[in-house]
Amino acid sequence: MNDKRAVVHVVVAGEVGGAERMLVDLARSGSAGATMRTHSVALLTPNDRLRALFRDAGLDVDDRGPVRESAASYLARSLGPRDAAWLAGVMTKRGAGIAHLHTFASQVVGTRAARKASARVVRTEHSTRVYDDPSCWPFSRWSLARADAVVAISEHVARVAIARAPWARAKLRVVPNGVDTVRFAPAEPPSRTSATASGTPPLRFVSLGRLDRRKGLDVALDALALVPNAVLDVVGDGDERASLEAHAARVGVAGRVRFLGFRDDVRASIAAADVALSSARAEGLGIALLEAMAMQRPVVALPTGGVPEIVIDGSTGWLAHGHGAEALARVMQDAVDRRDEVLRRGVRAHANVAERFSIDAMRRGYDATYDAVDALATR
């Protein structure tokens, strides 16, 4: 068996998102599969927030230093010699038996480096982007063909991957993201002192994540315009923030929306809300939704991607019957009208996460993947 027991997680990214937070939970306590392992992160990012996320978690980080993020820099990094050589040196220094690739930008350069360092390659598919986007697919396909194992974070992501690359089916497995249910513990329902003309305090929704088109915040704002007794907190940042603020004013909900920006710790924002909201156009699974559910907040969501795998309509939340603003508004309004049901579904949401989406379950899934990859060396 391969005696190199280290896993080097390769992250080439510009923002902090669910994939990066999941990696912290996976790597923080190490692994305990057939072979005890050490974990470290090889990081290429322009973002000091991402750098701090890993360092503050106590992870061992090899940092390339501030790098550029653009199409030109992606091509230079993926096809040029310097970053691949640096990564290969990190893998050799760490004694890596496995290079674990987590982002699209890490796939080509990480695969090239792993081949130089004689490490095997594990990829995690955190979304369907590389399969949907024609500009990504040729690069991702090259890496996919050379990966030893591929992990999809949901059945939805796995189905999309297999439809696009049926030849990769044998190396693909599903390991859902897990949530730290101690850190994201149930929070008491927020107390409400303000009320609308109806005499009932507004129901507070919270949306968590990057502000980009895939997250569909414009749909959420259009839906909010149809639900008078509701307010929305938007936690996150991104290129679309200015246009979303303008859109909120245009549809008449600027006074009912708070754009709170990026938060290192989202727990206070979740605790201040009654319901988590997802209006995503594309969603691999939704780790932010799992975090909210762990804190005993039900979810109101469009039935997008892997979301129906974690949100049970009528039990742990509400799933819209359709994908537009009107469909989302109908289930938001039902939550507004049924406050007791919000509390009941929140309790069931926490129980569902604790049972099915724990960190321990996620780690067992990855340990099994790493062990299977190790076994390839004996064939």
User: What are the extents of the domains in the chain?
Assistant: 6-178+358-376, 203-356
pLDDT one-digit tens code per residue, 143-190: 999 999 999 999 999 999 999 999 999 999 999 999 999 999 999 988
In this predicted structure, what is the pLDDT of residue 312? Answer: 93
Residue 31 has pLDDT above 50, yes or no: no
Mean pLDDT, residues 41-66: 92
In this predicted structure, what is the pLDDT of residue 286? Answer: 85
In this predicted structure, what is the pLDDT of residue 16? Answer: 79
In this predicted structure, what is the pLDDT of residue 2? Answer: 43
Q: How would residue 378 be classed by pLDDT, with cut points 50, 70 and 90? A: low
Residue corresponding to tokens 């909201």:
277
Mean pLDDT, residues 65-92: 92
Residue 264 has pLDDT above 80, yes or no: yes
Residue corresponding to tokens 């730290």:
180
Residue 39 has pLDDT above 60, yes or no: yes
Residue corresponding to tokens 């109806």:
198
Count of Cβ atoms closer than 10 Å to residue 306 Cβ: 28
Residue 258 has pLDDT above 50, yes or no: yes
- Opening angle at CA 325, ends 324 and 326, nearest 5: 95
DSSP 118-131: T-EEEEEE-SSHHH
- Opening angle at CA 58, ends 53 and 61, nearest 5: 75
DSSP 165-228: -GGGGGGEEE----B-TTTT---PPPP-----TTSSPPEEEEEES--SGGG-HHHHHHHHTT-T
Residue 71 DSSP label = H
Query: What CATH architecture applies to the domain 6-178+358-376?
Result: 3-Layer(aba) Sandwich (3.40)
**For 97-106, 122-131, 182-191, 328-337, which range has the lowest pLDDT when averaged over its residues?**
182-191
Residue 338 has pLDDT above 90, yes or no: yes
Mean pLDDT, residues 251-265: 93
pLDDT one-digit tens code per residue, 304-326: 988 999 999 999 999 999 889 99
Handedness of CA 331, 332, 338, 341 (dihedral sign): positive
With b for 16 or more beta-carbon neighbours within 10 A and e for fewer, the 74-89 pattern comes to beebbeeeebbebbbe
Mean pLDDT, residues 85-96: 96
Mean pLDDT, residues 331-353: 95
Residue 306 contacts residue 323 (beta carbons within 8 Å)? no
Examine domains 6-178+358-376 and 203-356 and report if their fold is the same. yes
pTM score of the predicted model? 0.84
Q: How would residue 69 be classed by pLDDT, with cut points 50, 70 and 90? A: confident
Fold of the domain built from segment(s) 203-356: Rossmann fold (3.40.50)
